[in-house]
A and B are shown apart, each in its own frame.
Chain A
Amino acid sequence: MKIVVLMKQVFDTEAKISLDGNKINKQGVSLVMNPYDEYAVELGLRIKEKFKGEVTVVSVGGPEVQDALRQALAMGADKAVLVDPGADEIDEYTTATILAKAIGGLEYNILLGGFKAIDDGSCQVCGRVAEILGVPVVNMVTQAEVEEDKAVVTCDIDGGSAVIEVKLPAMLTAQKGEIEPRYPSMKGIMQAKKKPMQKIGLGDIGLDAAQAAPKVKALSYSLPAARAAGKLVPGEPAEAAKELARLLREEAKVI
């Protein structure tokens, strides 16, 4: 079974965000593997353990992304591919175009990714890649039974969950479910450095910058106005509760 996982490196959830002119300041921010992609890597490893096979992790980004790829290798993935887009201003269309081209050159039975990246929260790159490659997609998968030629998955839908069957190859995007991503083992960390990590550019996959030019343009960035701390309602619990109820009705007018 050839498994390909799409992985993004993102800012740590604790990261403080500041602006650098009209851009997000990336200096000194600690970077991590997108948590939903960790589920995807875990799912990939479990499929590999069931069928034997190979997990390749593919990412788009600069050299710093190697840290996250190395983490995936330490968890047990076999190979990593990193495509440098050679540009700062990219959108989901760009990323998906590059990923699809890179994956198109690989053998795969199943494609996995996180359903959302926690930085831009855009929830669309995997879907777009599936569309380009002509494979079916199932999003927000919390559980997956994978067989040789099909997958039966449980996924979140509006107002509940569904069990869906798709033929392989297919793209599944992981939502947080029952499976907990493993921590890289110490041995895994040592083995990771011996595993192949391919670093390539657009030219290597036969793309030129124009083909992957973004459709969406960021016009401006700003930081949200800080929510001012409101008032503490004083008094003993009974008194405070009564006053709070009054404030919610008369002052905030929310009930």
Chain B
Amino acid sequence: MAKGIWVFTEQRDGEIKKVTYELLSAGRKVADSLGEELCAVLLGKGVSGLEGKLGEYGADKVYTVDSEALENYTTDAYTNILADLAKEHQPTAILLACSASGRDVAAQVAQRLGTGLMTDCTDMALEDGQLVFTRPVYAGKAIVKAACPEARPVMATIRPNVLAADAPQAGRAAQAVPVGGNTGDIRQVIKDIVKQISTRPELTEADIIVSGGRGIKGPENFALLEELADVLGAAVGASRAAVDAGWKSHSFQVGQTGKTVSPVLYIACGISGAIQHLAGMSSSKCIVAVNKDPEANIFKVADYGIVGDLFDVVPLLKEELKKLLA
């Protein structure tokens, strides 16, 4: 019988990502309602020892595969191990982060297990004993609730920052289950890895994002936003207009053809608010817009707006926030 709610641990360089705790916290509630156990799957190199943390956030059991071959994520190695584990233990559900690797492994494993996969979910609930997932589709212009009625496990990837992480319970332990794990033949051979070196948080994980658009006028003026971002510990983003103009690389782009973000605070500077941009950030909790054009679409979704020249407003805002946060 299928048993267990599984959370696939999102870790990088031995550090567990916050989204994992969000998934564990939500998974805990589902597991309790169903009377099943909550398990984490932890893959990587040198990750043994992280089980305690997962326990504190609610995991009953942690299947750990600690191997040299898992140092960097590869589709085949991670797919082979996760699929084998799932075949062996037949969990009810597997929850993953909607990250590059989470999405990647989820698709392969879902197909290998012949099951359904709901991606990019923003909520999860038990309705009449069935796990129901909420997913924004059409770039957030519609919302679908979906379920996987028969095939098991139910699989889903969930956006970072959309579920709340409960406070950790110090000392709550998980049963560590070390597993050998067979990576199989890894057909994706890594030749090189370039890490984006930035002291700022990653866009998709950041709590605060300061974003710039056409109104920034040139690449050099992003410095203004970076200064504001650094005061807030925020990430910097850009609209498609700014990326197309070549002022920022595509990895900074927020929107339908860029990244989807859900920070606590999104500060849009000189962004008109094209529907494609809104698609990528309208699930932010609080939106601030600074724009010269009082008719700019962004004001339609902003919680707070200042109609004014960002070149005046942003430096002043930075100083005010600095004072407040000092």
Let me know if chains A and B touch directly in the complex, using CB atoms closer than 8 Å. Answer: yes
**A interface list, Cβ under 8 A from B:** 11, 13-17, 19, 24, 35-36, 91-93, 96, 118-124, 126-128, 130-132, 136-140, 142, 152, 156-167, 170, 175-177, 214-224, 227, 229-233, 237-238, 240-242, 244-249, 252, 254-255
Q: Which residues of B contact A36 (CB under 8 A)?
A: 257
Q: Which residues of B contact A165 (CB under 8 A)?
A: 188-189, 191
Count of B interface residues, CB-CB < 8 Å:
93
Do the beta carbons of B111 and A120 come within 8 Å of each other?
no
Do the beta carbons of B148 and A215 come within 8 Å of each other?
yes
Q: Which residues of B contact A230 (CB under 8 A)?
A: 287, 302-305
Chain B nearest CB, measured from A7 CB (Å): 16
Q: For the complex, would chain B's binding face be called helix, strand, loop or mixed by DSSP majority?
A: mixed
Do the beta carbons of B257 and A35 come within 8 Å of each other?
yes
Do the beta carbons of B194 and A161 come within 8 Å of each other?
yes
**B interface list, Cβ under 8 A from A:** 12, 72-73, 75-76, 79, 99-101, 103-104, 106-108, 110-112, 114-120, 132, 135-151, 187-196, 202, 208, 232, 250-251, 253, 256-258, 260, 264-265, 275-276, 279, 282, 285-288, 299-309, 312-313, 316-317, 319-321, 323-325
Chain A nearest CB, measured from B229 CB (Å): 13
| Interchain CB contact (< 8 A) of A240 among B132, B202, B308 | B308
- Bound: A238/B106 CA distance, A: 49
Do the beta carbons of A217 and B304 come within 8 Å of each other?
no
Do the beta carbons of A123 and B107 come within 8 Å of each other?
yes
| 11 A-B pairs (CB sep. < 8 Å) | A13-B279, A14-B275, A159-B196, A162-B191, A166-B187, A215-B151, A227-B287, A232-B305, A244-B304, A248-B288, A252-B265
Do the beta carbons of B107 and A124 come within 8 Å of each other?
yes
Known: A224-B142, A238-B316. A217 touches B149 (CB 8 A): yes
Chain A nearest CB, measured from B127 CB (Å): 8
Do the beta carbons of B305 and A231 come within 8 Å of each other?
yes
Known: A122-B119, A128-B111, A222-B143. A162 touches B317 (CB 8 A): no
Chain B nearest CB, measured from A16 CB (Å): 8
Chain B nearest CB, measured from A211 CB (Å): 11
Do the beta carbons of B286 and A252 come within 8 Å of each other?
yes
- Bound: A208/B257 CA distance, A: 35
Known: A17-B141, A121-B137, A136-B75. A127 touches B192 (CB 8 A): no
- Bound: A240/B310 CA distance, A: 12
- Bound: A133/B306 CA distance, A: 54
Do the beta carbons of A255 and B141 come within 8 Å of each other?
no
Do the beta carbons of A127 and B108 come within 8 Å of each other?
yes
Known: A19-B142, A224-B136. A139 touches B306 (CB 8 A): no
Q: Which residues of A contact B188 (CB under 8 A)?
A: 136, 138, 164-166
| Interchain CB contact (< 8 A) of B256 among A17, A118, A223, A224 | A118
Q: Which residues of A contact B194 (CB under 8 A)?
A: 160-163
Do the beta carbons of A240 and B144 come within 8 Å of each other?
no
